Amino acid sequence: MNYKNSAVSEIENLIELFPVYTLGQILLSVIKRKPEGISISEWLYTISDEDLFTEIEKTKQIEEL
């Protein structure tokens, strides 16, 4: 599975699911899932495409509630 393309596709799905959210709000909802104790830039630099895809999926589940 190409997780990079899947992650981008899921962000596009979130944009369609939540049209009132800005892109920044959608990205922030994913970024807020980063582990404590590391910076946002460190997390984004080190997270794998697969793990980022998983976090986007979790964000989607939470936001749909």
Say what the pTM is.
Answer: 0.88
For residue 65, pLDDT beyond 90 = no
- The full set of domain ranges for the chain reads 3-64
Measured in degrees and rounded to the nearest 5, phi and psi for residue 27 equal: -65, -40
Pseudo-torsion of CA 29, 34, 37, 42, nearest 10°?
A: -110
- Write out pLDDT tens, residues 8-56: 999 999 999 999 999 999 999 999 999 999 999 999 999 999 999 999 9
In the predicted structure, residue 2 carries a pLDDT above the cut 80:
yes
Mean pLDDT for the stretch of residues 57-63: 91
